[in-house]
């Protein structure tokens, strides 16, 4: 995409009176030398794959290599059946769908990296749960996914979206910003509100480390997807009522990059610090790798 900053995106959207998704699909069509309709068909394929991942994840309790994770979604579903969530059906679905997708990733099932495999549950859970509960048509869901993709793409122009480069703020954090923007789009928000939602989500996860226990994308990754999906909803709600990030989104993304550079390598997917070096994690490692 030729647009490298959120400021450029905002200006183009205002100057041409086009929503973000329209700019995204036109840019992508030009770049890939295909029609806008073909772009939307490709996005629909991603959306369909995301829905399949949720569906498969909701049915399975199969654990991953470690045997630690894989049945949390099932536990949550059972809990909601007995005791509905304080926050209602949308919250129930968002948290369950986020876990379902992240657990599918654990099982090597088919997921859509959005923006990464470790953070694959955040964007789908928000889009799919809200679409189901608010009867939002498929075409609006495609608009939302295009909006999410644009946010992720612009951040990725500034910093590589990988825990090994900038910590989990660049994976689950950016996914949450993408989901926040997508949600605002689905709920009828304008470009400014979408960018504010993304800024608020991103700003409030700066510094999030990547410290997977035993180097597996399980702990803390899976449950983190549920937390950061809900985080996206908070950002969207704030933005939709006119609350703004005092720090503009481009500057927030720049800080994310700088924070990643300042972050010690032990907190960037090396599993040599943070949660991965706790007493419990070391014990788990001993058992898993049968170390003396
Ligand atoms: S903790 Fe690391 S491996 Fe896990 S989701 Fe976050 S960035 Fe990915």
pLDDT, average across residues 82-89: 98
Q: How far is the CA of 292 from the centre of ligand 1 (A)?
A: 27
- Separation CA 41–CA 236 (nearest Å): 26
pLDDT bucket at 290, cuts 50 / 70 / 90: confident
pLDDT, average across residues 221-234: 98
Q: How far is the CA of 251 from the centre of ligand 1 (A)?
A: 23
pLDDT tens for each residue of 164-208: 999 999 999 999 999 999 999 999 999 999 999 999 999 999 999
pLDDT bucket at 291, cuts 50 / 70 / 90: low
Q: Which domains does the chain have, with CATH numbers?
A: 6-288 (1.10.4100)
pLDDT tens for each residue of 12-46: 999 999 999 999 999 999 999 999 999 999 999 99
pLDDT, average across residues 54-58: 98
Q: How far is the CA of 8 from the centre of ligand 1 (A)?
A: 30
The answer to whether 36 and 25 have CB atoms below 8 angstroms apart is yes
Binding site membership of 119 for ligand 1 (Cβ less than 6 Å): yes
pTM over 0.85: yes
Q: How far is the CA of 211 from the centre of ligand 1 (A)?
A: 7
pLDDT, average across residues 95-112: 98
pLDDT bucket at 65, cuts 50 / 70 / 90: confident
Q: What is the pLDDT of residue 1?
A: 66
- Separation CA 267–CA 169 (nearest Å): 11
pLDDT, average across residues 112-117: 98
Nearest-CA residue for ligand 1 atom 1 is: 210
250 has pLDDT over 70: yes
pLDDT tens for each residue of 120-145: 999 999 999 999 999 999 999 999 99
Binding site membership of 172 for ligand 1 (Cβ less than 6 Å): yes
Binding site membership of 212 for ligand 1 (Cβ less than 6 Å): yes
pLDDT tens for each residue of 160-173: 999 999 999 999 99
Q: How far is the CA of 217 from the centre of ligand 1 (A)?
A: 6
Q: How far is the CA of 169 from the centre of ligand 1 (A)?
A: 9
The answer to whether 208 and 251 have CB atoms below 8 angstroms apart is no
The SS3 of residue 210 is strand
Binding site membership of 194 for ligand 1 (Cβ less than 6 Å): no
Residues 6+ apart with CB under 8 A from 207: 167, 169, 259, 263
Q: What is the pLDDT of residue 249?
A: 98
Mutate to test the pocket of ligand 1, among 168, 224, 228, 259 (most ligand atoms within 8 A of CB): 168
């Amino acid at each position: 995409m030729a647009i490298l900053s959120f400021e450029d995106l905002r200006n183009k959207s205002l100057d041409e009176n086009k929503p973000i998704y329209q700019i995204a699909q036109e840019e992508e069509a030009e770049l890939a030398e295909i029609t806008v309709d073909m772009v939307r068909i490709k996005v629909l394929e991603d959306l369909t794959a995301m829905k399949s991942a949720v569906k498969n994840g909701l049915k399975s309790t199969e654990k991953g290599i470690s045997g630690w994770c894989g049945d949390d979604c099932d536990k949550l579903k059972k809990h909601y059946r007995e005791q509905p969530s304080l926050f209602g059906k949308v919250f129930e679905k968002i948290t369950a769908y986020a876990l379902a997708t992240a657990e599918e990733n654990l099982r090597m099932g088919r997921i859509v990296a959005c923006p990464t495999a470790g953070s694959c549950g955040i964007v789908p859970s928000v889009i799919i749960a809200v679409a189901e509960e608010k009867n939002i048509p498929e075409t609006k869901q495609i608009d939302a996914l295009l909006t999410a993709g644009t946010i992720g793409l612009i951040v990725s122009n500034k910093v590589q979206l990988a825990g090994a480069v900038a910590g989990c703020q660049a994976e689950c954090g950016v996914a949450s910003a993408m989901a926040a923007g997508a949600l605002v789009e689905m709920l009828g928000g304008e470009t400014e509100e979408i960018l504010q939602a993304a800024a608020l989500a991103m700003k409030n996860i700066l510094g999030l480390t990547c410290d997977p226990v035993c180097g597996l994308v399980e702990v803390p990754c899976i449950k983190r997807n549920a937390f950061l999906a809900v985080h996206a909803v908070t950002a969207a709600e704030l933005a939709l009522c006119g609350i703004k990030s005092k720090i503009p989104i481009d500057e927030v993304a720049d800080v994310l990059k700088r924070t990643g550079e300042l972050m010690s390598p032990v907190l960037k997917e090396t599993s040599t610090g943070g949660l991965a070096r706790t007493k419990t994690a070391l014990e788990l490692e001993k058992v898993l790798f049968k170390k003396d």
